[in-house]
Amino acid sequence: MTSRARLRLGLFYSLLLPALVVAAVVAVGIGSTPLPWQTILRVCAVKLLPHQWLAAIGFDFSSVTATDQLVVWIIRIPRVLVAAVVGAGLATSGAIMQGLFRNPLAEPGLMGIGPGAALGGVLAFVTGWGAKSVLPVPLLSMAGALAALVLVYAMSTRGGVTPMSTLLLAGVASGSFVSAVTSLLLTLNVANWQIAQEVIFWMMGGLDARTWTHFWLCAPFVGLGLCSGLLSARDLDLLMQGEETAASLGVDVESAKRVLAVTVAILTGSAVAVAGMVGFVGLLVPHAVRLLLGPSHRVVLPASAVGGALFLIVCDLVARTIHPPTEIRLGVITALCGGPFFIVLLLRHYREASL
C-alpha cells in the first residue's frame, strides 16, 4: 500500500468512526422522549461497568431512573445496534458480490439469496409461528437464504465447474420464482389483514420493536461473514483479474467461489432475517468505498462494514423522525437514497462501455 493510499485510509476512518459514534448517540437520544447524551452515557455506564468501580469514583446512581434504563437500554440501543450490524452485513456482502462478479452493479440479491430469505420469513408469518416467538422469523429467513443458494448452485454447476454467467442467470431465475411464491402466499392470506400487514411491513424493511434477541441472532453471523470475507480477500482480489489468472496464481477457483457464495448467503440471510428486505445498501456503500479507497478487498470489506453501519443508522433515524408519529419503512428510505445513485451508476457504466 502506497503512502497516499494509507493517508486516504487513515482519513476515511478518522472521519467515519467518529461519525458512526455520533450517529449512534444521536439515534439513541432522538425519539418521542428526547434524551441528552449525558443520560445515555450514564445508563451505559450502569449497565456495562461494575458498580464497585462507579461507587469508587462517586457515581450518582440516583441520576439514572428506571424509565431512563428502559428507554435507552431496552428499546433504543438494541435498535441502533441492529441497524449497525445489518448495514455492515449488507454492505460487506455487496462488496463481495461486486468483486466476485467483477461488476459495480452487482448486489446481494443477484443470486436469489435475498428473495429466499424473504420467503422463509413470510412462511413464518403465514404459518403463525412468527406470532409465538421472535425466533421463527429470523431462523426461517436464514434457512431460506441458504436453501436458495443451494438451489442456485445445483442449477448452475456441471462437472464441478460453476460459470459465473450461469450462476448469475440461475440466481435471477430462482429469485424471480421465489418472489412469485412469496407473492402467492401473500395473496392467499390477504383476507387475514393482520398477517398481510405484518408480511407487507416486514418485506418493506424496518427495525421497529427490535430487541437484544434480534441483535444476538444477527451479530455473530455478520461477524463470521466478515471474518470469512477477510480471509478470502486475496482470492477475491485475484478473481477480479479473471478466473484463469487466479488459477495460474494458485487459487482453487471453484472452492473460492463456493466459500464466497456461502459468505454472501450468511451475511445477507442474517441481515434480512432481522430487518426484512432493505435494498441498495449492498450496492451503494461498497461502490462508494471502492471509489474512495481502491480495489483491495482487505481494505474495502472492513471499510464497507463501517460505512454500511453508519448509512443504515442514519437511514433508520430518518425513517422514524421524518414524519412523526408515523414511521416510514426503512426499505423505502434506503430505496429513495439508492435509486438515484443506481441510475447514475448505470448511466456511467454504459457511457464507459461505449467509449
Q: Where are the domains of the chain?
A: 3-354
pLDDT in tens, 218-268: 999 999 999 999 999 999 999 998 888 999 988 999 999 999 999 999 999
Q: Which of 20-24, 55-59, 318-322 has the lowest mean pLDDT?
A: 55-59
pLDDT in tens, 138-174: 888 888 988 998 999 888 888 888 888 888 889 888 9
What pTM, to 2 d.p., does this model score? Answer: 0.92
Per the CB < 8 A criterion, the answer to whether 219 and 345 are in contact is no
Q: Encode 26-43: b = buried (16+ Cβ within 10 Å), e = exposed.
A: ebbbebeeebeeebbebb
- What is the separation of C-alpha 30 from the centre of its chain, rounded to a whole number of angstroms? 23
Pick 3-354's CATH classification: 3.40.50.300, 1.10.3720.10, 3.30.930.10, 1.10.3470.10: 1.10.3470.10
Q: 65 φ, ψ to 5°?
A: -85, 165
Per the CB < 8 A criterion, the answer to whether 227 and 88 are in contact is no
10 Å CB burial of residue 75 (0-12, 13-18, 19+) is: middle
